[in-house]
Amino acid sequence: MTRSKRRAATAPAFGRVGRILPMLLLTLLVVALILPAGAAISPGFLGPARPQEPAAAGPWQQLPATLSAPGAGGPSGGGARPLSDAAPVPDAAALAAQLNATLKTDGAGSFSGVVQDAVTGEVLFDRAGDEVRAPASNIKLLTAAAALRTLGPDRRFSTKVVAGATPGTVVLTGGGDVLLGAGESAPDAVLGHAGLATLAQSTVSALQQAGVSGPVTVLLDDSLFTGPPLSPAWSPEDVAAGEVAPLFPLALNSARFEPGSTTGPRPVDAAMAAAETFAARLASAGAAAGLTVAPGVARVPATEKTPDDAGHANKVLAEVESATVGQQVDLLLRTSDNYLTEVMGRMVAAASGKPASNEGAVAAVLQQLEELKIPSATLRAADLAGLTLANQVSARQLSAVVRAMTTGTDSRLRSALAGFPVAGLTGTLGSRYTDTSTSRGAGLVRAKTGTLNTVIALSGYVVDADGRLLVFSFIGNNLTPGAAGNKAALDRTASALAACGCR
C-alpha cells in the first residue's frame, strides 16, 4: 500500500477573501505563537481573570485593521491577552450538534473523534473515541512526546571523527544526526545545523597537530542502530517511492539527495552517502595542508571496534552537533518527516537502554505513554511514522497525548507545541483552510495531519471563540481513496471548534 499524500501548491487567492486572507493569517500566526508558546495552562496558559465578552470577541478572533509587526502584540497593539480559566467551557450538546453536521465522510468509511477541554480533561464530544484505528502520521505525536521526555528538548546529537586503530585512519562515527548538511555548519538552521565541510576542516586541523602527513583513509562506523534497517511493516512500494528508506544513525538531508527535496527516491545507503561526502570534503580541505585522502570509504571491521575508554583508538579528532531535539521534533511534526521520526524513535530506545532497533523503538515509545498515564493496552504500533494500517490507535489516546503537551505536568512536552502545523500557514496545513467553509479556522487550528489511501486523521489544539483551549482528534478509516470531501470534512470540523461559542 502506498501513501496517497502529496504536497499541493498553495491554492490561488479567491476574490476579496483571498486578497485579505494572507494579512489576516500572518497576524493570527503572530498572536497564535504568543498564546501557547511552551507554556502550561497553570500558570502559563492561564492568566488573570478578565471580564466576560461575547462569543468571538477575543483578540485572537478579530479581523486586524493593520498588520502587526512580529513581537508588536495583537491586533489592538496592546498584546494578546492570556487565556483565562474563567472562559466558559463549550456546552457538549451544542458542540456535538455542530460537529456532527460537518464530520461526515465522502463515500465509504467512518469518522471517530474526541474533543476535550484542555484544562479539566472533560470530554465534550465522543464518537467511537475508544475504537482503535489506523492513525496514519498522527502516530508521530507519540514519538514526539517520547523523544522530549526521554532525550529532553535541549539534547543534541554528535557526529564525530575519531582516530582509527591503524595510523592514518579516521573513523566517521554516526551519533543520530540525520539532518547533516554537506557544506559549512549553519547555526541558525535545523536541517544542516551540523555541516560535513566544517567537520572536515576541523579534522584536518587535528591531523596537522598530530603530525599526520601520509595519506588518510576514511572509515565509517554506523553501528549505533541494530536490527534490520527497514521495518517489516513497510511496503516495498513505499520504500521505492521514497516515503522512507533504510535507517542509519547519520545521513544528509534526512536521507534525501538534496536539502530541498521532499519527494522521490532516497539513497539506499544514506550513511555511506554521507561518509563519501565527508571524504570528498576532507580531501578538499586537506589539499591546502598537503594531506591526501585515499579513494573509497569502507565500514569499520567489527574486530577494530573498541570501547570508548580504550585510548588512542577512540581519540576524538573533531565533532559537530545537531540542532536540538526540540527543534528536530518541531521539524518532524511540521513536515511529517517519516525518516526523521523513525530515527528519533531509535534514539529514544538507545537512551532507554533498549536495542536501537524497530522493536526497541516501538517498545520505548509505548513505555513513555504508560509513564504519562495514557492507557495504551489497546494500542498497537508496527512503526512510528504511520506508514502501515497495522498501527491501531484511538482518538482518545491521541487527544490525551495532545492534552499532555498543552496542559500536562511534564513541561518538556511544551516544546512540541510550536511544531504543530498552523491552518493555512505552515507545514502540512499550509495549503489548507483557504476557502470560505474553513477560513474560520485559518491561523487558529494547530494540528498534526495524517493521510494514507483509505485513512485521514487530524489531531491538535485550538482556542475557541470564548478563549477556551480545546484538544481534539479525528480519525477516518476505510475511506474512499482520493475522495476530496474527507479532508474538507476534517478542516470544517476543526474550524467549527475554532469558531465555537457553544453555550
**pLDDT tens-place string over residues 307-327:** 544 444 479 999 999 999 999
Q: Are residues 195 and 124 in the same domain?
A: no
Q: Are residues 318 and 421 in the same domain?
A: no
Final residue of a structural domain among 264, 289, 323: 323
Contacts of 384 (CB under 8 A, 6+ apart): 139, 140, 142, 143, 341, 342, 344, 345, 361, 362, 365
* Percent of the chain residues past pLDDT 90, beyond the cut: 76
Q: Are residues 292 and 363 in the same domain?
A: no
Q: Are residues 385 and 250 in the same domain?
A: no
pLDDT of residue 11: 36
Q: Mean pLDDT throughout 77-100?
A: 76
Q: Are residues 82 and 162 in the same domain?
A: no
Q: Are residues 127 and 224 in the same domain?
A: no
Between residues 153 and 45, which one has the greater pLDDT? Answer: 153
Hey, how many other C-beta atoms are within 10 angstroms of the C-beta on 211? 6
Res. 180: pLDDT tops 90: yes
Where residue 303 falls among pLDDT bands split at 50, 70, 90? Answer: low
**pLDDT tens digit string along 156-172?**
999 999 999 999 999 99
pLDDT of residue 214: 79
> H or E stretch including 450?
strand 446-452
Q: Are residues 288 and 412 in the same domain?
A: no
- Residue 204 CB-half CA count within 13 A: 22
Residue-number span of the structural domain to which 68 is assigned: 15-151+329-499
CA angle at residue 225 from 191 to 411, to 5 degrees?
60
Report the amino acid identity of residue 378.
T
pLDDT of residue 63: 38
Res. 32: pLDDT tops 90: no
Written as nine digits, the cell of 341 is 521520526
Domain total in the chain: 2
Residue 402 domain flag: yes
Residue 10 domain flag: no
Q: Are residues 62 and 125 in the same domain?
A: yes
pLDDT of residue 12: 36
pTM, full prediction: 0.84
Where residue 261 falls among pLDDT bands split at 50, 70, 90? Answer: confident
Final residue of a structural domain among 278, 308, 323: 323
Q: Mean pLDDT throughout 200-229?
A: 94
pLDDT of residue 85: 73
Q: Are residues 311 and 182 in the same domain?
A: yes
Burial of 227 (0-12, 13-18, 19+ CB in 10 A): middle
CA distances from 160 to 179, 211, 238, 272, 314 (A): 14, 20, 32, 15, 10
Residue 252 domain flag: yes
CA 321 – CA 340 distance, rounded (Å): 16
